[in-house]
Structure 1
Amino acid sequence: MEPEIKIVNVVVSTQIGTDIDLEYAADVLDNAEYEPEQFPGLVCRLSDPKVALLIFRSGKLNCTGAKSKSDAEIAIKKIIAELKEAGMEIIDNPEVSIQNMVATTELGMEPNLDDISTLECTEYEPEQFPGLVYRLSDPKVVVLIFGSGKVVITGLKKIDDAYTAFNKILTTLKELEEEFY
Protein backbone atom coordinates (compact mmCIF):
# COMPACT_ATOMS: atom_id res chain seq x y z
CA MET A 1 0.00 0.00 0.00
CA GLU A 2 1.42 3.40 -1.02
CA PRO A 3 1.77 5.81 1.89
CA GLU A 4 0.05 9.18 1.59
CA ILE A 5 2.94 11.57 1.23
CA LYS A 6 2.09 15.25 1.20
CA ILE A 7 4.43 18.00 -0.01
CA VAL A 8 4.19 20.85 2.50
CA ASN A 9 6.94 23.18 1.27
CA VAL A 10 8.82 23.68 -1.98
CA VAL A 11 11.79 26.05 -2.13
CA VAL A 12 12.92 27.16 -5.57
CA SER A 13 15.49 29.63 -6.83
CA THR A 14 15.98 31.57 -10.03
CA GLN A 15 17.71 34.62 -11.47
CA ILE A 16 15.35 37.45 -12.53
CA GLY A 17 17.97 40.04 -13.47
CA THR A 18 21.15 41.74 -12.31
CA ASP A 19 21.60 44.72 -10.01
CA ILE A 20 17.99 44.98 -8.84
CA ASP A 21 17.01 48.26 -7.16
CA LEU A 22 15.44 46.78 -4.03
CA GLU A 23 14.27 50.14 -2.62
CA TYR A 24 12.32 50.80 -5.83
CA ALA A 25 11.04 47.20 -5.99
CA ALA A 26 9.79 47.50 -2.39
CA ASP A 27 7.84 50.64 -3.37
CA VAL A 28 6.15 49.06 -6.40
CA LEU A 29 5.36 45.61 -4.97
CA ASP A 30 2.43 45.05 -2.62
CA ASN A 31 3.25 43.31 0.66
CA ALA A 32 6.99 43.88 0.24
CA GLU A 33 9.42 44.72 3.03
CA TYR A 34 12.98 45.80 2.59
CA GLU A 35 15.01 46.40 5.74
CA PRO A 36 18.67 45.98 4.72
CA GLU A 37 19.94 46.39 8.28
CA GLN A 38 17.99 43.24 9.25
CA PHE A 39 18.13 41.15 6.04
CA PRO A 40 19.96 41.80 2.73
CA GLY A 41 16.97 40.85 0.57
CA LEU A 42 13.52 42.18 -0.13
CA VAL A 43 10.77 39.97 1.30
CA CYS A 44 7.48 39.86 -0.60
CA ARG A 45 4.54 37.78 0.65
CA LEU A 46 1.77 36.66 -1.68
CA SER A 47 -1.53 35.19 -0.56
CA ASP A 48 -2.37 33.34 -3.79
CA PRO A 49 -0.36 31.18 -4.01
CA LYS A 50 0.64 31.57 -0.34
CA VAL A 51 4.42 32.01 -0.61
CA ALA A 52 7.25 34.29 0.42
CA LEU A 53 9.65 35.55 -2.22
CA LEU A 54 13.12 36.77 -1.33
CA ILE A 55 14.67 39.04 -3.93
CA PHE A 56 18.34 40.02 -3.72
CA ARG A 57 20.21 42.92 -5.33
CA SER A 58 22.15 40.37 -7.44
CA GLY A 59 18.87 39.40 -9.14
CA LYS A 60 18.66 36.04 -7.36
CA LEU A 61 15.17 35.16 -6.20
CA ASN A 62 14.13 32.42 -3.79
CA CYS A 63 10.53 31.37 -3.33
CA THR A 64 9.54 29.43 -0.22
CA GLY A 65 6.28 28.09 1.17
CA ALA A 66 4.87 26.81 -2.13
CA LYS A 67 3.05 23.47 -2.19
CA SER A 68 4.40 22.65 -5.67
CA LYS A 69 6.96 23.84 -8.20
CA SER A 70 4.14 25.14 -10.40
CA ASP A 71 2.73 27.26 -7.53
CA ALA A 72 6.21 28.76 -7.08
CA GLU A 73 6.44 29.45 -10.83
CA ILE A 74 3.02 31.18 -10.79
CA ALA A 75 4.18 33.40 -7.91
CA ILE A 76 7.46 34.24 -9.67
CA LYS A 77 5.59 35.14 -12.89
CA LYS A 78 3.30 37.49 -10.89
CA ILE A 79 6.29 39.29 -9.37
CA ILE A 80 8.10 39.49 -12.72
CA ALA A 81 4.99 41.02 -14.34
CA GLU A 82 4.68 43.64 -11.57
CA LEU A 83 8.37 44.58 -11.73
CA LYS A 84 8.35 44.81 -15.54
CA GLU A 85 5.18 46.94 -15.42
CA ALA A 86 7.07 49.28 -13.07
CA GLY A 87 9.74 49.68 -15.76
CA MET A 88 12.39 47.40 -14.27
CA GLU A 89 14.65 45.29 -16.48
CA ILE A 90 13.70 41.75 -15.55
CA ILE A 91 14.31 38.36 -17.24
CA ASP A 92 11.06 37.08 -18.79
CA ASN A 93 11.07 33.30 -18.32
CA PRO A 94 13.90 32.49 -15.94
CA GLU A 95 14.98 28.89 -15.29
CA VAL A 96 13.45 27.82 -11.96
CA SER A 97 15.16 25.05 -10.00
CA ILE A 98 14.02 23.19 -6.91
CA GLN A 99 16.42 23.63 -3.99
CA ASN A 100 14.48 21.70 -1.36
CA MET A 101 11.13 20.05 -0.78
CA VAL A 102 9.62 19.01 2.53
CA ALA A 103 7.09 16.19 2.74
CA THR A 104 5.08 14.69 5.59
CA THR A 105 3.53 11.28 6.09
CA GLU A 106 2.59 8.80 8.83
CA LEU A 107 4.25 5.53 9.81
CA GLY A 108 0.90 4.12 10.89
CA MET A 109 2.38 3.11 14.25
CA GLU A 110 4.13 4.64 17.26
CA PRO A 111 7.80 3.75 16.85
CA ASN A 112 10.24 3.16 19.68
CA LEU A 113 12.71 5.98 18.99
CA ASP A 114 15.23 4.60 21.50
CA ASP A 115 15.45 1.35 19.50
CA ILE A 116 15.76 3.20 16.19
CA SER A 117 18.53 5.41 17.61
CA THR A 118 20.80 2.32 17.71
CA LEU A 119 21.02 2.51 13.90
CA GLU A 120 23.88 4.24 12.11
CA CYS A 121 23.16 7.67 10.65
CA THR A 122 20.62 8.53 13.36
CA GLU A 123 20.64 11.17 16.08
CA TYR A 124 18.19 11.19 18.94
CA GLU A 125 18.46 13.63 21.80
CA PRO A 126 14.92 14.01 23.20
CA GLU A 127 16.07 16.77 25.62
CA GLN A 128 17.06 18.87 22.58
CA PHE A 129 14.47 17.86 19.96
CA PRO A 130 11.50 15.45 20.22
CA GLY A 131 12.18 13.70 16.91
CA LEU A 132 14.77 11.21 15.77
CA VAL A 133 16.96 12.51 12.92
CA TYR A 134 17.73 9.85 10.32
CA ARG A 135 20.15 10.81 7.51
CA LEU A 136 19.88 8.70 4.37
CA SER A 137 22.59 8.75 1.73
CA ASP A 138 20.47 7.39 -1.15
CA PRO A 139 18.34 9.37 -1.66
CA LYS A 140 20.29 12.10 0.14
CA VAL A 141 17.54 13.29 2.49
CA VAL A 142 16.94 13.84 6.20
CA VAL A 143 14.00 12.04 7.77
CA LEU A 144 12.56 13.17 11.10
CA ILE A 145 10.62 10.46 12.92
CA PHE A 146 8.43 11.40 15.88
CA GLY A 147 7.06 9.19 18.66
CA SER A 148 3.52 9.82 17.35
CA GLY A 149 4.44 8.11 14.08
CA LYS A 150 4.56 11.38 12.14
CA VAL A 151 7.40 11.57 9.61
CA VAL A 152 8.93 14.66 7.96
CA ILE A 153 11.25 14.20 4.99
CA THR A 154 13.42 17.14 3.96
CA GLY A 155 16.19 17.76 1.46
CA LEU A 156 14.10 16.35 -1.39
CA LYS A 157 14.72 17.39 -4.99
CA LYS A 158 11.88 15.27 -6.39
CA ILE A 159 8.76 13.64 -4.94
CA ASP A 160 9.86 10.11 -5.95
CA ASP A 161 12.70 10.40 -3.44
CA ALA A 162 10.14 10.80 -0.63
CA TYR A 163 8.59 7.40 -1.51
CA THR A 164 12.02 5.76 -1.86
CA ALA A 165 13.17 7.16 1.51
CA PHE A 166 9.92 6.23 3.27
CA ASN A 167 10.00 2.66 1.94
CA LYS A 168 13.67 2.26 2.97
CA ILE A 169 12.82 3.42 6.48
CA LEU A 170 9.80 1.10 6.74
CA THR A 171 11.96 -1.86 5.65
CA THR A 172 14.65 -0.91 8.18
CA LEU A 173 12.07 -0.51 10.97
CA LYS A 174 10.57 -3.95 10.20
CA GLU A 175 14.06 -5.52 10.33
CA LEU A 176 14.77 -3.68 13.58
CA GLU A 177 11.47 -4.85 15.09
CA GLU A 178 12.37 -8.49 14.33
CA GLU A 179 15.76 -7.93 15.96
CA PHE A 180 14.33 -6.38 19.15
CA TYR A 181 11.17 -8.46 19.63
Structure 2
Amino acid sequence: RFAAVIMRIREPRTTALIFSSGKMVCTGAKSEEQSRLAARKYARVVQKLGFPAKFLDFKIQNMVGSCDVKFPIRLEGLVLTHQQFSSYEPELFPGLIYRMIKPRIVLLIFVSGKVVLTG
Protein backbone atom coordinates (compact mmCIF):
# COMPACT_ATOMS: atom_id res chain seq x y z
CA ARG A 1 0.00 0.00 0.00
CA PHE A 2 1.09 3.53 -0.84
CA ALA A 3 1.28 5.76 2.26
CA ALA A 4 -0.16 8.95 0.78
CA VAL A 5 -3.52 10.42 -0.18
CA ILE A 6 -3.76 10.99 -3.93
CA MET A 7 -5.76 14.09 -4.84
CA ARG A 8 -6.42 15.60 -8.27
CA ILE A 9 -7.72 18.94 -9.49
CA ARG A 10 -8.76 19.93 -13.00
CA GLU A 11 -7.33 23.45 -13.15
CA PRO A 12 -4.39 23.49 -13.30
CA ARG A 13 -4.53 19.81 -14.15
CA THR A 14 -2.31 18.30 -11.47
CA THR A 15 -2.02 15.45 -9.00
CA ALA A 16 -0.94 15.80 -5.38
CA LEU A 17 0.45 13.17 -3.04
CA ILE A 18 -0.30 14.22 0.53
CA PHE A 19 1.66 12.42 3.26
CA SER A 20 0.83 11.99 6.95
CA SER A 21 3.90 14.12 7.77
CA GLY A 22 2.04 17.06 6.24
CA LYS A 23 4.33 17.20 3.22
CA MET A 24 2.87 17.30 -0.25
CA VAL A 25 4.23 16.57 -3.72
CA CYS A 26 2.45 18.19 -6.66
CA THR A 27 3.00 16.80 -10.17
CA GLY A 28 1.80 17.57 -13.67
CA ALA A 29 1.96 21.37 -13.72
CA LYS A 30 3.24 22.97 -16.90
CA SER A 31 4.97 25.89 -15.16
CA GLU A 32 6.28 26.98 -11.77
CA GLU A 33 3.36 29.41 -11.49
CA GLN A 34 0.82 26.61 -12.16
CA SER A 35 2.56 24.38 -9.64
CA ARG A 36 2.41 27.05 -6.92
CA LEU A 37 -1.27 27.76 -7.67
CA ALA A 38 -2.14 24.04 -7.56
CA ALA A 39 -0.25 23.55 -4.28
CA ARG A 40 -2.19 26.47 -2.75
CA LYS A 41 -5.48 24.94 -3.95
CA TYR A 42 -4.61 21.57 -2.42
CA ALA A 43 -3.70 23.25 0.88
CA ARG A 44 -7.07 25.05 0.82
CA VAL A 45 -8.94 21.76 0.23
CA VAL A 46 -7.09 20.17 3.16
CA GLN A 47 -8.00 23.20 5.33
CA LYS A 48 -11.67 22.88 4.32
CA LEU A 49 -11.54 19.25 5.45
CA GLY A 50 -10.70 20.52 8.93
CA PHE A 51 -6.92 20.07 9.02
CA PRO A 52 -4.65 22.94 10.15
CA ALA A 53 -2.81 23.07 6.80
CA LYS A 54 -0.43 25.92 5.98
CA PHE A 55 1.25 26.77 2.70
CA LEU A 56 4.96 26.79 3.61
CA ASP A 57 8.34 26.12 2.01
CA PHE A 58 7.18 25.78 -1.60
CA LYS A 59 10.04 24.73 -3.85
CA ILE A 60 10.55 23.15 -7.24
CA GLN A 61 12.37 19.85 -6.73
CA ASN A 62 12.40 18.46 -10.24
CA MET A 63 11.38 19.40 -13.76
CA VAL A 64 10.76 17.17 -16.76
CA GLY A 65 10.77 18.14 -20.42
CA SER A 66 10.78 16.32 -23.72
CA CYS A 67 11.58 17.06 -27.32
CA ASP A 68 11.95 15.41 -30.69
CA VAL A 69 15.03 16.35 -32.72
CA LYS A 70 13.30 14.92 -35.83
CA PHE A 71 16.21 12.73 -36.92
CA PRO A 72 17.50 9.33 -35.80
CA ILE A 73 20.37 9.29 -33.29
CA ARG A 74 23.19 6.72 -33.43
CA LEU A 75 23.36 5.83 -29.76
CA GLU A 76 26.38 3.53 -30.14
CA GLY A 77 28.41 6.42 -31.58
CA LEU A 78 27.18 8.83 -28.94
CA VAL A 79 28.14 6.54 -26.05
CA LEU A 80 31.63 6.08 -27.54
CA THR A 81 32.28 9.81 -27.91
CA HIS A 82 30.76 10.71 -24.51
CA GLN A 83 31.70 7.69 -22.38
CA GLN A 84 32.22 9.65 -19.16
CA PHE A 85 28.65 11.01 -19.23
CA SER A 86 26.75 8.17 -20.92
CA SER A 87 25.51 4.69 -20.28
CA TYR A 88 23.83 2.61 -22.96
CA GLU A 89 22.73 -0.97 -22.39
CA PRO A 90 20.02 -1.68 -24.99
CA GLU A 91 19.28 -5.12 -23.52
CA LEU A 92 18.22 -3.41 -20.25
CA PHE A 93 16.73 -0.11 -21.50
CA PRO A 94 16.25 1.16 -25.09
CA GLY A 95 17.57 4.67 -24.41
CA LEU A 96 21.00 6.13 -23.76
CA ILE A 97 21.26 7.74 -20.32
CA TYR A 98 23.33 10.94 -20.51
CA ARG A 99 24.18 12.60 -17.18
CA MET A 100 25.15 16.27 -17.53
CA ILE A 101 27.09 17.78 -14.63
CA LYS A 102 26.37 21.50 -15.01
CA PRO A 103 23.48 21.98 -15.12
CA ARG A 104 22.70 18.71 -13.34
CA ILE A 105 20.33 17.14 -15.87
CA VAL A 106 19.73 13.57 -16.98
CA LEU A 107 18.74 13.03 -20.60
CA LEU A 108 17.15 9.85 -21.91
CA ILE A 109 18.03 9.80 -25.60
CA PHE A 110 16.32 7.38 -27.98
CA VAL A 111 17.21 6.17 -31.49
CA SER A 112 13.96 7.74 -32.76
CA GLY A 113 15.28 11.24 -31.93
CA LYS A 114 13.05 11.64 -28.91
CA VAL A 115 14.72 13.04 -25.78
CA VAL A 116 13.43 13.28 -22.21
CA LEU A 117 15.18 15.73 -19.84
CA THR A 118 14.89 15.53 -16.06
CA GLY A 119 16.57 17.41 -13.29
TM-score in terms of structure 1 length:
0.60
Aligned twin of 2:68: 106
- Which structure is larger by alpha-carbon Rg, 1 or 2? 1
Q: Does 1:117 align with 2:65?
A: no
How many aligned positions are there?
A: 117
Please, which of 42, 60, 84 is the counterpart of residue 5 of structure 2? 42
Aligned twin of 2:56: 94
Residue deviations 1:15-54, cap 9 Å, x none? xxxxxxxxxxxxxxxxxxxxxxx01111112222221101
Give 3-state SS (helix, strand or coil) of 1:77's partner.
Answer: helix
- Structure 1 unaligned blocks of 5 or more: 1-37, 156-181
Distance 1:88 1:141 in 2: 37
Please, which of 25, 38, 48 is the counterpart of residue 75 of structure 1? 38
Please, which of 108, 112, 115 is the counterpart of residue 148 of structure 1? 112
Aligned twin of 1:30: none
Aligned twin of 2:91: 127
Distance 1:79 1:151 in 2: 32
Q: Percent identity?
A: 39
Distance 1:86 1:43 in 2: 15
TM-score in terms of structure 2 length:
0.88
Q: Which gives a bigger RCO, structure 1 or 2 (Cα 8 Å, sep 6+)?
A: 1
Considering fraction of residues, name the structure with more strand. Answer: 1
